[in-house]
Amino acid sequence: MEKVYIYDTTLRDGTQGEGISLSVDDKLKIARLLDRFGIHYIEGGWPGSNPKDMEFFQKVKKLSLKTSKITAFGSTRRPGVPAEKDENLQKILESGVETVAIFGKTWDFQVTHALNTTLDNNLDMIEDSVRYLKSHGLEVMFDAEHFFDGFKSNPEYALHALKRAEQAGADWIVLCDTNGGTLPDELAAIVKTVKEKLQTPIGVHCHNDSECAVANSLAAVRAGATQVQGTINGYGERCGNTNLISLIPNLQIKQGYVCVPEEKLRLLTSLSRQVHEIANVSPPNNQPFVGLSAFAHKGGMHVSAVLKSPETYEHLPPDQVGNARRVLVSELSGQSNLLYKARELNIELDKSNPACKSLIQKIKQMEHEGYQYEGAEASFELMLRQGLGETEEVFSLESIQILVEKTADAPVKMVAVIKMRVYDEVVHTAAEGNGPVHALDNALRKALSSFFPEIRKMQLTDYKVRVLNGEEATAAKVRVWIESSDGKNRWSTVGVSANIIEASWQALSDSMRYFLLYGKEPVAMK
């Protein structure tokens, strides 16, 4: 049971991917998820490169992570500048991390052509930088950029560069396939050679340009690497980095290595989907292990075979990675999932209750229409309690009008008019806003606040729009997701419609209804 350390660089290399952009807050949310999953190292950013990354390093300390070590990324010192005067290395120290990964050149051609210095100078830069950071008590990883290309071009020099990092006290030496072109056999042979020459533990950092990043990382581990770097869902520049979501179950379930605590593997699917959600990326249905189609069975022959003996068309049991089998006939998992959920929410529900069947029908119907309750558990709870006749009708809508007016250059003006019934009274009011949904939010809040002054304590803290079938462009369905908070608790709601106003109304009104009905009780942090 050999241990393989997992090093996540979603927050740094992942954001190099086209269309991936994370705010400091997004990064903190992801760090919390990674820590809970049991990832060993989280590369938070490059403190020398921009103020946003530095802000992350300050704020992440307050999260008091339990498992993950926060790591800073940076480069070796510049030519001609001593380590203690190098701004980039200073910023790493300032960031307050205990672990750092610094990259340096090991490809002779790169040293002379990109770095414009001599081969000897480069070796000094590596040794100095590692030694300096070690002298400040940090755990130091040396990322050998372009190592495989470097080794193929000049194996002696490439190995020599690693040796210098080792002599300076590096705790890890990480071999990078920076341009993603190396194939598994060749990569494994090189890792094996390096392993024989060094004492220091070895890591590997692969890119997916040849669609082999996962296989390359597996091959490296078999050849002796004990650390793998990658990103959640394989985000990263060009074609992405090693996808940890696929790598971890391959290593742990299929090859018997230990990466994360055994019980955490069941969080794999939810980790992948939550990170997609935060990064605003549509999860690919065919994503291995965690995709919606990964254990979906179409057509008669496969389905009946799978129901008889799942191993005929499933390479592992889907619940082992938190995913679920999907078959078109009689989804038996429905009921047990529902009972499990109800128990979680302290709702009494027995399988003999006739409401079970209609609730399962309802959930299927809603999910078919595009609702997703995974990240919107307040909407789910409302639906469940409604189905069981438990909720009270606090307010109901009579009508909404929204007027938008835009002229050539003046800012858009808009007003929302709302008419609703609160208990037995009719309220008719209006409010402005920055956009149609903002105006609606203001109007609804205004209408409710004379009855429920406590509504002023709650506010919307996040709002996301996802276009579900983008191919139909502006006529497509949208899913609106809202997160609210009363300062202590947070809850999330969802709405779906071809119309963004309608979808937003659903999520907004669910959020306020949830707060008014259950807001006094502590609500679990979602």
Decide whether 122 or 287 has the Cβ nearer to a copy of itself. Answer: 287
Is 208 a binding residue for a copy of itself by CB under 8 A? The answer is: yes
Is 451 a binding residue for a copy of itself by CB under 8 A? The answer is: no
Is 401 a binding residue for a copy of itself by CB under 8 A? The answer is: yes
CA-wise closest residue to 388 among 317, 338, 425, 456: 338
Shortest CB 362 distance to a copy of itself, Å: 17
Decide whether 64 or 309 has the Cβ nearer to a copy of itself. Answer: 309
Strands 296-297 and 326-327: what pairing? Answer: parallel
Phi, psi values for residue 314, rounded to 5°: -130, 125
The window from 4-12, 62-70, 93-101, 286-294 that contacts a copy of itself (CB under 8 A) reads: 286-294
Distances (CA, A) of 194 to 108, 167, 172, 465: 17, 15, 13, 48
Distances (CA, A) of 202 to 34, 163, 174, 500: 22, 12, 6, 51
What torsion do the CA atoms of 487, 493, 498, 504 make, to the nearest 10 degrees?
A: -30
* Count of residues engaged in binding a copy of itself, rule: CB under 8 A: 124
**Residue 316 CA, distance from chain mean position:** 23
Is 30 a binding residue for a copy of itself by CB under 8 A? The answer is: no
CA-wise closest residue to 1 among 320, 231, 261, 271: 261
Decide whether 16 or 335 has the Cβ nearer to a copy of itself. Answer: 16
Residues between 328 and 357 with contacts to a copy of itself, criterion CB under 8 A: 328
| Six-digit token string for 246 | 């696929």
Decide whether 200 or 269 has the Cβ nearer to a copy of itself. Answer: 269
Is 265 a binding residue for a copy of itself by CB under 8 A? The answer is: no
Residues between 103 and 122 with contacts to a copy of itself, criterion CB under 8 A: 109-110, 113-114
In terms of phi and psi (left: phi > 0; alpha: psi -120 to 50; beta: otherwise), the region of 399 is beta
Decide whether 19 or 137 has the Cβ nearer to a copy of itself. Answer: 19
Shortest CB 469 distance to a copy of itself, Å: 7
Q: Which of 108, 171, 314, 454 binds a copy of itself (CB under 8 A)?
A: 314
Residues between 164 and 203 with contacts to a copy of itself, criterion CB under 8 A: 178-181, 183-185
Amino acid letter, 19: G
Q: Which of 482, 494, 496, 516 binds a copy of itself (CB under 8 A)?
A: 482
Is 397 a binding residue for a copy of itself by CB under 8 A? The answer is: yes
Decide whether 134 or 464 has the Cβ nearer to a copy of itself. Answer: 464
C-alpha torsion sign, points 344, 345, 348, 349: negative
The window from 312-320, 383-391, 450-458, 487-495 that contacts a copy of itself (CB under 8 A) reads: 312-320
Strand locations in 113-224 (E): 139-145, 172-177, 202-206
Q: Which of 471, 487, 521, 525 binds a copy of itself (CB under 8 A)?
A: 471
3-class secondary structure, 93: helix
The window from 31-39, 120-128, 160-168, 285-293 that contacts a copy of itself (CB under 8 A) reads: 285-293
Shortest CB 81 distance to a copy of itself, Å: 17
Decide whether 95 or 233 has the Cβ nearer to a copy of itself. Answer: 233
Distances (CA, A) of 471 to 389, 467, 468, 476, 523: 39, 9, 9, 7, 38
Q: Which of 7, 12, 13, 17 binds a copy of itself (CB under 8 A)?
A: 17
Is 42 a binding residue for a copy of itself by CB under 8 A? The answer is: no
Is 368 a binding residue for a copy of itself by CB under 8 A? The answer is: no
For the chain, the distance separating the N- and C-terminal CA atoms, rounded to the nearest angstrom, is 34
Is 215 a binding residue for a copy of itself by CB under 8 A? The answer is: yes
What residue has token string 């190098």?
Answer: 86
C-alpha torsion sign, points 240, 246, 252, 255: negative
The window from 56-64, 277-285, 343-351, 450-458 that contacts a copy of itself (CB under 8 A) reads: 277-285
Amino acid letter, 476: A
